Amino acid sequence: MTVATNQALILRNFVNGKWMDVTSEQWLDVPNPATGERLATVPMSSKKEVDEAVQAAHGAFMAWKQMPVVKRARIFFRYQQLLIEHHDELAQLVVKENGKSYKEAYGEVLRGIECVEFACGAPTHMMGQSLAGIAEEMDSEMFRYPLGVVAGITPFNFPMMVPCWMFPLALVCGNTFVLKPSERTPILANRLAELLTLAGLPAGVFNIVHGAHDVVNGLLEHRDVKAVSFVGSQPVAKYVYEQAAAKGKRVQALSGAKNHHIVMPDADLEKAVQNIVSSAFGSAGQRCMACSAVVLVGHQETFVSALKAKADEMKMGDGMNEEVLLTPVIRDSHRQKVMQWIQDAKEEGATLVRDGRQEVDHHEKGTFLGATIFDHVTPEMTIAKEEFFAPVLSILRAENLQQALAIVNGSKFGNSATLYSHDAKAIRCFREEAEPGMLGVNVGVPAPMAFFPFSGAKDSFYGDLHANGIDGINFYTRKKMITTRY
Ligand code: NAD
């Protein structure tokens, strides 16, 4: 089976190196959000199917763990080559099932490849430490070992990049893996499994179970799942963190966000507007790093009109069209909720500068929603507090940087924040005092690369060790000390 060449797929689970039919009573359609075309149907697997996959992963663990790390890394060198060869195909698949633009999807695939490249460094990253002579004729050494079966639970918005935050590093460290992809964008995961097989990954080392809550709960409850990597919305992240921790599992749960962009009086307005529009409305605002609130310092009235003018220029449509910047939201149910939230924000007293609801009817088949901008939003309003995950942008006002930072730090979320300024003192103050874990200076989407931790804070992250970088290595390995007297 090649997922990319079939028209309407019946998705199967991938267990022990084989594609398994699922005898589920419940299946969900997977439409292309831009056209409404049915791409696939995905099964809602049960805990029985979870158990089969975890058993397969558990069975494969010993041999995989014992394979020398250089050999495991070599499989990922081959995998990296395959991903490069299939870059265009994978990006097209992301556009189809997620709806984002081809340019964004191509970039997403590249971010995923970079995770594999980092994982290829495992022989270096997994090195321990040693100290000779801790006492007379005594040495101490630290070794790293894999944990066992690791589960990954992923969201719809990055079907390539987010799974790649997890399985390449977990596997190269010697763990085996069960992936539960988003039921809204499940297709690409199967292609990743096909390419892993082509790269030479042994059966059972990587498994996929499609579904929703039951699969997640099955993984959280399973005795043989030793660690859980989760990325998704805040309430689910908190639930996964609490449940997994209560069962004694390691867990990292990356969660929702409300990302502020502070525009200082000295900012280059043209560049700030350009960055904010693409951060807020690119991928239809469905990025955990999307700018959803601007904090305007000083009375920059020209900023609001420039922002609106730039948003007016955006072409809306299918992500395969090169000129398109504004792509659909994931489902109509989400669009309906967002439209209600827009109405609520208006009733709470925010000034509607641009109403994206007016552009809904022009694109009947896709789940499109125009760019929406609210001005004079205050920190108490729901729109300032909650994540909408849609092309909706709020503008708040502050007298100075300290007031702006108070707004940023008043949020329960702490994923990212950006400052637009060239004033060294302001930049330093922002770096020292802003609470979010990923900061940008004159950068619209300050996402760290794969060799750094993806380091959200507060309610944007539950756990200790973040995804990627050395944090990722520490998360997917346990340490053992040996102290020897000779
Ligand atoms: P979601 O929480 O709806 O789903 C994420 C995963 O959890 C899916 O696999 C889903 O099947 C499962 N799930 C959903 N509800 C569940 C429940 N009640 N019980 C058990 N499992 C459940 O998230 P989404 O809408 O797919 O993704 C968007 C969210 O992810 C946004 O909040 C976004 O900010 C967040 N996100 C965060 C990061 C980050 O790095 N912090 C990155 C990407 C996305």
- CATH assignment at residue 154: 3.40.605.10
Distance of CA 279 to the CA centre of its chain: 15
Global pTM exceeds 0.80: yes
Q: Is residue 440 part of a domain?
A: no
443: left (phi over 0), alpha (psi -120 to 50) or beta: beta
Structural domain containing residue 370: 260-435
Going from the Cα of 418 to the center of ligand 1, the distance in angstroms, rounded, reads 24
Burial of 474 (0-12, 13-18, 19+ CB in 10 A): middle
Going from the Cα of 236 to the center of ligand 1, the distance in angstroms, rounded, reads 7
State whether 248 and 293 are in the same domain: no
pLDDT at 7: 58
pLDDT at 2: 47
pLDDT at 361: 73
CA 444, CA 424: separation in Å to the nearest integer? 19
Query: Closest by alpha carbon to 442, among 275, 282, 266, 279?
Result: 275
State whether 103 and 224 are in the same domain: yes
Burial of 242 (0-12, 13-18, 19+ CB in 10 A): middle
Q: Is residue 445 part of a domain?
A: no
Number of domains in the chain: 2
Q: Is residue 441 part of a domain?
A: no
CA 37, CA 100: separation in Å to the nearest integer? 15
Nearest CA to ligand 1 atom 19: 213
Q: Is residue 467 part of a domain?
A: yes
DSSP 458-474: ETTEESSS-BSHHHHHH
Q: What is the CA radius of gyration of the chain?
A: 23
State whether 479 and 344 are in the same domain: no
State whether 214 and 74 are in the same domain: yes
CA 31, CA 188: separation in Å to the nearest integer? 14
Going from the Cα of 156 to the center of ligand 1, the distance in angstroms, rounded, reads 7
Q: Which residues of the chain have pLDDT under 70?
A: 1-7, 362
Residues with catalytic function: 288
Nearest CA to ligand 1 atom 26: 155
Q: Is residue 309 part of a domain?
A: yes
State whether 248 and 182 are in the same domain: yes
State whether 345 and 474 are in the same domain: no
Going from the Cα of 254 to the center of ligand 1, the distance in angstroms, rounded, reads 9
Which residues fall within 8 angstroms of residue 341, CB to CB, at 6 or more apart? Answer: 382, 383, 386, 388, 392
Nearest CA to ligand 1 atom 11: 212
State whether 287 and 395 are in the same domain: yes
Q: Is residue 4 part of a domain?
A: no
Q: What residues line ligand 1, using a CB cutoff of 6 Å?
A: 153-158, 162, 180, 182-183, 212-213, 216, 231-233, 236, 254-257, 288, 387, 389, 415, 454, 456, 460
State whether 243 and 300 are in the same domain: no
DSSP, res 200: T
DSSP, res 426: H
Which residues fall within 8 angstroms of residue 166, CB to CB, at 6 or more apart? Answer: 150, 152, 154, 177, 179, 229, 467
CA 481, CA 58: separation in Å to the nearest integer? 25
The residue to mutate among 42, 236, 331, having the most atoms of ligand 1 within 8 angstroms of its beta carbon, is 236
Q: What is the pLDDT of residues 283-322, one digit of tens each?
A: 999 999 999 999 999 977 899 999 999 999 999 999 999 9
Which atom of ligand 1 is nearest the CA belonging to 254?
41
State whether 155 and 25 are in the same domain: yes
Going from the Cα of 157 to the center of ligand 1, the distance in angstroms, rounded, reads 9
CATH of residue 314's domain is 3.40.309.10
Within 10 Å of residue 235's Cβ, how many Cβ atoms?
11
Check: CB of residue 334 under 8 Å from CB of residue 367. Answer: yes
State whether 238 and 205 are in the same domain: yes
Which atom of ligand 1 is nearest the CA belonging to 255?
41
CA 179, CA 56: separation in Å to the nearest integer? 13
CA 230, CA 296: separation in Å to the nearest integer? 34
DSSP 396-461: EEESSHHHHHHHHHHSSEESEEEEE---HHHHHHHHHH--SSEEEES-SS-PPPTTS-B--EETTE
State whether 413 and 479 are in the same domain: no
State whether 415 and 455 are in the same domain: no
Which atom of ligand 1 is nearest the CA belonging to 158?
43
Which residues fall within 8 angstroms of residue 115, CB to CB, at 6 or more apart? Answer: 161, 164, 165, 168, 169, 450, 468
pLDDT at 1: 44
Q: Is residue 3 part of a domain?
A: no
Q: Is residue 2 part of a domain?
A: no
Q: If DSSP codes are grouped into helix, strand and coil, which group holds residue 388?
A: coil
